[in-house]
Amino acid sequence: MIRTTVGGRAMKVIESKGVHYRELNREIRRLVAAGEDRLLLRGVNGQRYIGAGLRGTARLEIEGTAGNNLGAMMNGLSIYVHGNVQDGAGNTMSGGEIVVRGSAGDITGYAMRGGKILIQGNAGWRVGIHMKSREDQQAVLLIGGKAGDFLGEYMAGGTIVVLGLDIPLQQEREGANPLIGNYLASGMHGGTIYIRGRIPAWQIRGQVQSELTTPEESPQLRSWIEHFAAGLNLDCSALSREIFTYLTPQGARPYAHLYDHSA
């Protein structure tokens, strides 16, 4: 075990190259339980389940590519990844923050019920499915690039923002918005989704209503963009007058009409 100093603060360093996930995670769990509050994982290359189920306030920095289900079911850690993450980052997490300098894979933030995920690059398919919220817990997923199909499917609460930084938008009204794929927000029955640019009606599945806004008009959207910029140390001020589409559910019971509930 060595210690290093990053940004003037001491961190414990775990050399992760070639270490099996089970061993690596056992070591992280042991150190966090022992009260270590800053860990640097060097040479991570696809190890799965890092930080899964952990609680507390420790900060994990990861150099390399984190494997599937990073921070799954965790509640409270702060994870910063200097690189990409594979599938399932923040799966069913209930608190804490995951910040990714690169891109994220499929099912990022699946069923997350609290905490925040910030992705500087793109996110894959099935992202933010079934996110939830309560008064005291709000799941937030901020994506700097674009996202794939099924974004926000079955969304029950929380917030998704897709910024599309440096991605040129279509000028024609009926042209596809390149920041999203197919089946956007199908079955959405709670929460809010903000997508930069206009979205033609054919790209939106029923069940939601869409309106236009700008960060200047919407303090909520502005605060998420500011949070994103601060978390990743980026300048997002150019977005302030950009048009965003925001989606909210038409009702909290999207499928009630499909069934005969009579006795």
Partner 1 sequence: MPRSLILPEFLVHRDEGRCTKCKACIRQCGFGVHAEEPDGRISANEQRCVNCQRCVVMCPVSALKVTANKEIGRENAYWSAERLREIWRQAESGGAILTSMGCDRNYPVYFDHLLLNASQVTNPSIDPLREPMEIRTFLGRKPEKLSIAGPPGEERLAGPLPPGVRLEMPVMFAAMSFGSISKNTVLALAKAAKQMGIMFNTGEGGMNPALGPFWDHMIVQVASGRFGVDSAYLEAGRIIEIKIGQGAKPGIGGHLPGEKVNEEIARTRGIPTGADAISPAPHHDIYSIEDLRQLIYTLKEATDYQKPVAVKIAAVHNVAAIASGIVRAGADIVVLDGLRGGTGAAPKMIRDHIGLPVELAIAVVDRRLREEGLREQVSLVAGGGIRSSADLLKVICLGADAAYLGTAALLALGCHLCQRCYTGKCSWGIATQDPSLTKRVDPEAGAERLVNLLTAWQHEIKEFMGAMGINALESLRGNRLQLRGVGLPQNELDQLGVKQAGEAM
Residue 183 binds to partner 1 (criterion: CB under 8 A): no
Task: Tell me whether residue 157 or residue 164 sits nearer to partner 1 (CB atom).
Answer: 157
Largest separation between any pair of C-alpha atoms in the chain: 68
Shortest CA distance to 155 belongs to which of 201, 116, 110, 98? 110
Q: Does residue number 252 form part of the binding site for partner 1 (CB under 8 A)?
A: yes
Residue 133 makes contact with partner 1 by CB under 8 A: yes
Can you tell me which of 64, 88, 181, 215 binds partner 1, judged by CB under 8 A?
88
What is the identity of the amino acid at 246? Answer: Y
φ, ψ dihedrals at 51, nearest 5°: 75, 5
For residue 250, the SS3 value is: coil
40 binds partner 1 (CB under 8 A): no
* Minimum CB–partner distance for residue 33 and partner 1 (Å): 10
Question: Residue 193 has which token pair?
Answer: 């989704």
**Residue 98 or 225 with smaller CB distance to partner 1:** 98
CB atoms within 10 A of CB 118: 25
Task: Report the alpha-carbon distance of residue 192 to residue 59 in Å, rounded.
Answer: 28
CB of 181 to partner 1, least distance (A): 15
Candidates 130, 146, 196, 198; binder of partner 1 (CB under 8 A) is: 130
Q: Is 258 in the site for partner 1 (CB under 8 A)?
A: yes
Query: Is there binding between residue 85 and partner 1 (CB under 8 A)?
Result: no
Q: Does 107 bind partner 1 (CB under 8 A)?
A: yes
Among positions 13, 42, 45, 55, the unique one binding partner 1 when judged by CB under 8 A: 55
Q: Please, which residues have CB within 8 angstroms of residue 81's CB and are 6 or more apart in sequence?
A: 61, 62, 66, 70, 98, 99, 100, 101, 102
Any residues with CB less than 8 A from the CB of 263 and at least 6 apart, and which? Answer: none
Q: Which residues bind partner 1 (CB under 8 A)?
A: 21-22, 25, 29, 48-49, 52-55, 68-69, 72-75, 87-88, 91-92, 94, 107, 110-111, 113, 126, 129-130, 132-134, 137, 150, 153-154, 156-157, 187, 189-190, 252-263
